[in-house]
Amino acid sequence: MRGLSEKVAAIAPSATIEISNAAKRMAQEGADVISLSIGEPDFDTPLHIKDACIDALRRGETHYAPSTGIPALTAAIAEKVARENAVPANPDEVIVTCGAKDAIYEAMEAVLNPGDEALILDPAWVSYEPCVELAGAVARHHPLSTETFQVDDTLLEAVGSRTKMIVVNSPSNPSGAVLDAASLRLVADICRDHDLYALSDEIYEKLVYGKEHVSLASLDGMAERTITINGFSKAYAMTGWRIGYAVAPRPILRQMEKVQQHTISHPTTFAMFGALAALRGSQDCVEAMRREFERRRDYLIPALHDLGYATAPADGAFYAYVQVDGDDMAIARSWLHDAHVAVTPGTAFYTPGWLRLSYATAMENLEKAVERIARV
Ligand code: PLP
């Protein structure tokens, strides 16, 4: 048989797979494994959102929709980003996608050519690099300070003649850091001075604790060069619905629309009505979930400090990023086998020597996990 795609073959499998497969195997064999490796809210989607989707299904909203999404939703998203994010947008600068992940992939396809480079700030979420590579471009990594997890002048040194895009993610998965005003200003200055695009993944924007989320596209001169990525998975506990979106200048949006037209067409029509209800309805559910995450964070972070671990500033998202002495893969393996606690090694996020612990799980699981970690 002839060889398969070299481009896809070259993409590295996720470093999280070994540990998560081992955790699943142990759980299947009856071990009481506590999983702190979860990347999704443990809450159910709020009822009014489900009801809106069910109503749409009953009404017969079961047909093809416009390729950028149902008009009511693109309009609601344009209003939302103007109102909450200070990002002025027309509905035709919005595309609704199958999750934020799909929006990221389409953005890379829309902007990058073979040989172009995208700068990724480490620690970084696992799918940026593969999306860059699927677009035929090259991912370059730039480490953030592991003291502050903010951007500093060294980012400028990482920009080369082939750099075309900077990828930022605030609040960050995995570090939980929220980029401050100075960091965002630095990124914006570099993008403007070097004529770069920015991809700003703001999927965790609603999950901040005592910090303010600021959209990169709201900074001077940035709306015209930024693709803002967001979605419903984390804020509204809608991971399985697969609804995300991007807001971008019209030329980029038009390119993304072509990718979408010839691949997924658009996300599921009746699911988009659920997302519309999420945006148009009361936001109390978002705040209630945020408060519960904050309560867990306020328990977990000091408990880890009491055990002697240093952590990244856990100002957003739902992850504790914990510094460990030695090989993070080996330590994650030993926590799993000796303490039955599953965590994600920092190697998966291009930062060996760290572990990511998700607090998107019940408080009693966190308490049990801390007791077990203390014993190993
Ligand atoms: N971006 C980040 C930083 C994430 O952590 C995730 C999900 O884990 C996504 C994007 C993808 O979200 P979605 O479920 O909307 O595709």
Listed residues 234, 254, 280: the one ending a domain: 280
Q: What is the pLDDT of residues 102-148, one digit of tens each?
A: 999 999 999 999 999 999 999 999 999 999 999 999 999 999 999 99
**For ligand 1, what atom is nearest to the CA of residue 232?**
15
Q: Residue 13 has what pLDDT?
A: 79
The ranges of the chain with pLDDT < 50 are none
Does the Cβ of 244 fall within 6 Å of ligand 1? yes
Question: Same domain for 70 and 89?
Answer: yes
Residue 276 lies in a domain: yes
Question: Same domain for 244 and 302?
Answer: no
Domain count within the chain = 2
Residue 50 lies in a domain: no
Calculate how far, in angstroms, residue 104's C-alpha sits from the geometric centre of ligand 1: 9
Count how many residues are written for the chain.
376
The residue segments making up the domain with residue 272 are: 63-280
Q: Residue 229 has what pLDDT?
A: 98
Does the Cβ of 39 fall within 6 Å of ligand 1? yes
Residue 56 lies in a domain: no
Does the Cβ of 349 fall within 6 Å of ligand 1? no
Question: Same domain for 276 and 306?
Answer: no
Question: Same domain for 218 and 197?
Answer: yes
Question: Same domain for 96 and 160?
Answer: yes
Question: Same domain for 101 and 22?
Answer: no
> What strands lie across the sheet with 138-143, from one edge to the other?
94-97, 244-247, 226-231, 197-201, 163-169, 117-122, 138-143
Question: Same domain for 205 and 142?
Answer: yes
Q: Residue 283 has what pLDDT?
A: 98
Question: Same domain for 250 and 226?
Answer: yes
Q: Residue 17 has what pLDDT?
A: 75
Q: What are phi and psi of 42, to 5 degrees?
A: -90, 10
Question: Same domain for 81 and 25?
Answer: no
Question: Same domain for 169 and 299?
Answer: no
Q: Residue 20 has what pLDDT?
A: 81
**Contacts with 234 (C-beta within 8 Å, 6 or more apart), sequence order:** 40, 41, 203, 204, 206, 207, 317, 318
Residue 170 lies in a domain: yes
Does the Cβ of 41 fall within 6 Å of ligand 1? no
Please name the residue whose Cα sits nearest to atom 3 of ligand 1: 173
Listed residues 264, 280, 296: the one ending a domain: 280
CATH number of domain containing 270: 3.40.640.10
CATH number of domain containing 307: 3.90.1150.10
Question: Same domain for 184 and 312?
Answer: no
Q: Which of these, 247, 242, 245, lies nearest to 271 by C-alpha position?
A: 242
Q: E strands of the chain, at which residues?
A: 34-35, 94-97, 117-122, 138-143, 163-169, 197-201, 226-231, 244-247, 319-323, 341-342, 344-345, 354-358
Q: Residue 16 has what pLDDT?
A: 72
Listed residues 280, 311, 337: the one ending a domain: 280
pTM: 0.97
Question: Same domain for 156 and 296?
Answer: no
**Contacts with 149 (C-beta within 8 Å, 6 or more apart), sequence order:** 123, 172, 175, 177, 312, 313
Only one residue has tokens 């398969």, namely: 4
Q: Residue 331 has what pLDDT?
A: 96
d(CA 298, CA 139): 35
Q: Residue 18 has what pLDDT?
A: 77
